Chains A and B, each alone.
Chain A
Amino acid sequence: MPANSFNNFTEYGIGIGLRVPHYRHILAEKPVVDWFEIISENFMVDGGRPLEVLDKIMEQYRVVQHGVAMYFGSADRLNREHLKKLKRLVKRTKTPWLSDHLCWGSVDGRYTHDLLPMPYTFAAAKATAANIREAQDFLEVPICVENVSSYAEFHASEMTEWEFLSEVVERADCGILLDVNNIYVSSQNHNFDPYAYLNNVPHDRVGQIHIAGHSKFEKYILDTHDHPVLDPVWKLYAHAVKLVGRTATLLEWDDSIPSFEEVHHEALKANQFIEKLENATA
């Protein structure tokens, strides 16, 4: 049973990101994994090994697309060529939903390859929501937008980040990919209560959750995706699951990537929280 209209894939379970160092292991050993998240841009190519690997993975596994370069929050209109390429991939993978970030990253065709934070204003929310609607209409697949971790705040902001996220998804009528690690990182960098964030986003729009590890520096926390999930992030995850119910969850591990088993083992820890919740409600 879907938990709600934006969470149609409640039973997807726990996935991990498909990463190059694991290709060989996955293709040879065919381990049991609920699903893989792929970085769309890595497969928006015209040929060669990446697409061969993707096709082989899809013979065995469910794949969900996650993008890093749509830049819904860019003041520029979405790039049509980009959308066309993305749609070609969507047709290939038949991804049940697709995610990208609530951020910007390019101006006038120059790309930062980063997920840059938004000023939280109504005008920015309106522009962003228009971009998401356009993408959703063109791609013909449900979109979830993900909150990013950030290191700066703008004077221009008129609301909190969670108010901004809510404003955008309501206007765009889209789902949320709730990254609880990003919430934690930003809460530490900007001195807000991460639980207030979780409590105040529209729970019925959460279609997916991200968990990940981060790195602590002297004056700020960096979202490095190179560690196991830290304790406060698991606690936030437990709270999130309580609020939104069983939700497709994915562990991101992108740097200093350990063995496949280690990553998968870390991801599966999420099941404890889901089971605990379901036992309690039963």
Chain B
Amino acid sequence: MKRSKRTSSSKSSKTRRLEVRSRAELKALQSLMATAVFRPLTPEEGMQPRWIDGRTTSELASTFIKPNDRLTAFDRLEIYNRVYWFRVLDCLYDDYPGLRAVLGERKFMKMITAYLAKYPSASFTLRNLGSRLEQFLRDEPRWIAPRPELALDMARFEWAQVIAFDDESKPAITPDDILDTRPDKLRLGLQPYLSLLQLNYEVDEFLVAVKKSESAVLRSEASNTFEAMPHSSGREKRPRLPKRKRIHLAVHRHDNDLYYKRLDPEGFVILTALRAGASVEEACLQGLSSTKRTGVDWNEEIKAYFNNWTALGWFCRFSKK
């Protein structure tokens, strides 16, 4: 009580200084600083001069940060603002070389800045930074015009690789495990690390070409800071953009190495149906009814599919969820 009286009476001091005498006040200070840190930088890579309420950011910074003999409160807050943006932009820069090549550097940086401004990191690990990128691009396709479909395909493909790298792997089912179950009753789970993608562009080949033209950059792990915005040398030539073509991809890992495998359209339908909870029989029927191919021995074909997928360890126990 005393406190609020004192602060309300000190009208003369334009910049009321934040105090931290309770967990609630600690929260208030941290919320304020986090808001400042999350605000996008100016085109000159500095902190925005105006605060949200129209005050100068200098004034705002002075309410909680002390200046020293070399730096103002604004300067000191700006260090954290810049470090945050350099770090998260750098992370997506590394995670999305394909999307970067599709959009071009400048457009890519603008897009991920808008994405992160709307969706700041919601996970303790930078690994998940791109988790909402697909949704963002669907909601705001202007960032990926004039090639929204290609860009979206690439974003999904690159996110699938994050999943394939270190998502969970459940005990794989062997043919013996399912020998006695009737196909109309048998349900199979798919490994959490496996993604099934129906795409409109041959982004797999394009990405291989992009990676070849770029030297791999290893992300640093635990450093406290970054000194600069990620920039390419600007020298590398972008490979020719992929042509429109419907493809089906499984993005997965085997012996902990990452792979992408093209699937027949029918195989894609079967796997997608299995993942949705269909029995093996239902899934195969869906696959067959989707086919446009003729002269195929489907008995043999489906047997080969399942042998291959089982050998890759893609099946696990089905669980409803």
Are A42 and B122 in touch, CB under 8 angstroms?
no
| Bound-state Cα–Cα, A66 to B65, Å | 29
Are B34 and A107 in touch, CB under 8 angstroms?
yes
Q: Could you say which residues of chain A place their CB within 8 Å of the CB of B19?
A: 121, 155-156
Are B121 and A191 in touch, CB under 8 angstroms?
no
User: Does A193 sit within 8 A of B, measured CB to CB?
Assistant: no
* Interface residue tally for chain A (C-beta within 8 Å): 66
Are A114 and B30 in touch, CB under 8 angstroms?
no
Are A123 and B20 in touch, CB under 8 angstroms?
yes
Taking CB as reference atom, which chain A residue is nearest B220?
A255
Are A79 and B124 in touch, CB under 8 angstroms?
yes
| Bound-state Cα–Cα, A76 to B193, Å | 32
Q: Could you say which residues of chain B place their CB within 8 Å of the CB of A215?
A: 227
Q: Which residues of chain A have a CB within 8 Å of any CB of chain B?
A: 17, 19-21, 39, 41-42, 44-52, 66, 68-69, 74-76, 79, 82, 104, 106-116, 119, 121-124, 126-127, 148-149, 151-156, 189-191, 215, 219-220, 222-226, 252, 254-255, 257
A-B contact pairs, 6 of them (CB 8 A): A44-B125, A48-B253, A66-B222, A148-B224, A155-B63, A223-B224
Are B17 and A113 in touch, CB under 8 angstroms?
no
Which of B145-153, B166-174, B239-247, B265-273 has 4 or more CB atoms under 8 Å from chain A? B166-174
| Bound-state Cα–Cα, A212 to B45, Å | 28
Q: Could you say which residues of chain A place their CB within 8 Å of the CB of B79?
A: 151-152, 220
14 additional A-B pairs beyond A21-B218, A127-B26, beta carbons within 8 Å, are A45-B167, A48-B165, A49-B165, A49-B166, A75-B30, A76-B27, A111-B121, A112-B34, A112-B121, A121-B26, A148-B224, A152-B66, A191-B69, A223-B224
Which of B70-78, B103-111, B133-141, B178-186 has 4 or more CB atoms under 8 Å from chain A? B70-78
Q: Could you say which residues of chain B place their CB within 8 Å of the CB of A252?
A: 222
Are A82 and B124 in touch, CB under 8 angstroms?
yes
Taking CB as reference atom, which chain B residue is nearest A155?
B17
Counting residue pairs across A and B whose Cβ atoms lie within 8 Å, the total is 184
Are B77 and A152 in touch, CB under 8 angstroms?
yes
Are B124 and A111 in touch, CB under 8 angstroms?
yes
Beyond A119-B26, A127-B26, whether A225 also contacts B224 by CB under 8 A is: yes
Beyond A68-B222, A153-B65, whether A110 also contacts B122 by CB under 8 A is: yes
Taking CB as reference atom, which chain B residue is nearest A44?
B125
Beyond A49-B165, A114-B83, whether A74 also contacts B30 by CB under 8 A is: yes
Those 10 A-B pairs whose CB atoms lie nearest each other, nearest first:
A75-B27, A46-B168, A48-B166, A254-B223, A152-B76, A45-B166, A69-B124, A75-B26, A156-B20, A219-B70
| Bound-state Cα–Cα, A42 to B19, Å | 36
User: Does B68 sit within 8 A of A, measured CB to CB?
Assistant: yes
Beyond A154-B65, A154-B66, whether A107 also contacts B220 by CB under 8 A is: no
User: Does B256 sit within 8 A of A, measured CB to CB?
Assistant: yes
Are B167 and A46 in touch, CB under 8 angstroms?
yes
| Bound-state Cα–Cα, A45 to B224, Å | 21
Q: Could you say which residues of chain A place their CB within 8 Å of the CB of B38?
A: 110, 112
> CB within 8 Å of A: which of B111-127?
120-127
Q: Could you say which residues of chain A place their CB within 8 Å of the CB of B29?
A: 119, 154, 156
Are A153 and B124 in touch, CB under 8 angstroms?
no
Q: Separation in Å of the A120 CB from the closest CB of chain B?
A: 9
Are A124 and B224 in touch, CB under 8 angstroms?
no
Are A46 and B192 in touch, CB under 8 angstroms?
yes
Which of B120, B127, B164 sits near A45, CB closer than 8 Å?
Answer: B127
Q: Separation in Å of the B113 CB from the closest CB of chain A?
A: 16
Beyond A124-B20, A155-B66, A223-B224, whether A113 also contacts B126 by CB under 8 A is: yes
